[in-house]
Structure 1
């Protein structure tokens, strides 16, 4: 027992396969170090906006670049409706891919988005990204909006709160 005071015990464990640190931006590191459960895995909307991850590059903000996508969508939706028939069209459209659809924001609780129309090019769980004819990219919340689109001779109204529960492409 004598001399045990001088003995130092090393409690560290050395691993041969050390995990390499990820290269993250300062904003991503702040998000991961935050105390909330969501922030440990995801950045907040404020952080996304600050680092520009939600912005569309300026060279892609051209309505003309997305016209072929709209033509492809028209062919896709026409074939989809023909295969399903008009009796199940409503259910079919709720599950259909809307990338390339020409969408009009018929009603929105945010007055700035009311009347926005263009080709839908980005969809998230809660938003639609729309490129307008004047080459502007607008992100519209689904939950507070009502959208209209036209398929052949049908004018279709989609309530955004019904669209928020559907699965977005992976």
Structure 2
């Protein structure tokens, strides 16, 4: 007759607990407990692979926390960011942009809802706002240039670069006008069509119909991008060629 030898843990549990409790603890804590085995020592190749995975994880985490890298000038040209499709270069398409630009300028100059007699726009009070404004959507006309063929060209600005204005004329032609040694003229109406339709009892809106502010822009003093003009502080300086 053979007798099974009790496990040493079960023997110790029987001394401290009742048989039922000892059997339950032995089953739950000893027999059903998972056994964790330590893997064998890694080889040099495994160490190298583990270090490579660790570097990739750190790089992935670093890139996820970083801002996306801006496109370079070559990548922008390759992606066609600066291309203007001929089918979309229509003067009628950009008239809505010009109307938005007029409202934008009227807000900058603070001439909305005022009579023409009350408008007082001077270089000291509004000069810094004008030179810092964005001219995408402005309708510019060349009034003086070293190239006589450019005088009289008029169109809506679709691109404002550091050295040029790209405009779309009424004939749906795209022209690039250099800023240097060129004087441009633009106009800002004192009233908009929406305000003309809502006249008050005193006729304030009607009194501004057809009246506008005319400005001349000296391109040689305007050689900067719109994003650079927004935060730049301009200083008064003499213009030699005037």
Relative to the length of structure 1, the TM-score reads 0.65
Cα deviation code 1:3-51 (max 9, x no counterpart) = xxxxxxxxxxxxx89xxxxxxxxxxxxxxxxxxxxxxx867xxxx8xxx
3-state DSSP of counterpart to 1:100: coil
Matched, 1:161 2:161: no
3-state DSSP of counterpart to 2:172: coil
Question: Which structure 2 segments of 5+ residues have no match?
Answer: 1-51, 56-71, 112-119, 190-211, 229-242
Q: Distance in 2 between matches of 1:67 and 1:96?
A: 19
How far apart are 1:131 and its partner, in Å? 0.3
Cα deviation code 1:87-124 (max 9, x no counterpart) = 42222111111111111011111222211101111011
- 2:144 touches 2:182 (CA, 8 Å); kept in 1? yes
Structure 1 runs, 4 residues or longer, greater than 4 Å off = 52-55
CA gap 1:112/1:54 in 2 versus in 1, 3 angstroms: farther
Relative to the length of structure 2, the TM-score reads 0.46
Name the counterpart of 1:69.
Answer: 97
Q: Which has the higher helix share?
A: 2
Matched, 1:150 2:187: yes
Q: Distance in 2 between matches of 1:64 and 1:72?
A: 14
Name the counterpart of 1:120.
Answer: 157
Name the counterpart of 1:96.
Answer: 133
3-state DSSP of counterpart to 2:180: coil
Taking only aligned residues, the RMSD between alpha carbons, in angstroms, comes to 2.9
1:36-55 correspondence runs (5 A): 55=83
Q: Distance in 2 between matches of 1:123 and 1:110?
A: 20
How far apart are 1:61 and its partner, in Å? 1.3
3-state DSSP of counterpart to 2:226: coil
Residue among 55, 74, 86 paired with 2:121:
86
Question: Which structure 1 segments of 5+ residues have no match?
Answer: 1-15, 18-40
CA gap 1:144/1:53 in 2 versus in 1, 3 angstroms: farther
Larger Rg: 2
- Count of residues paired in the alignment: 129
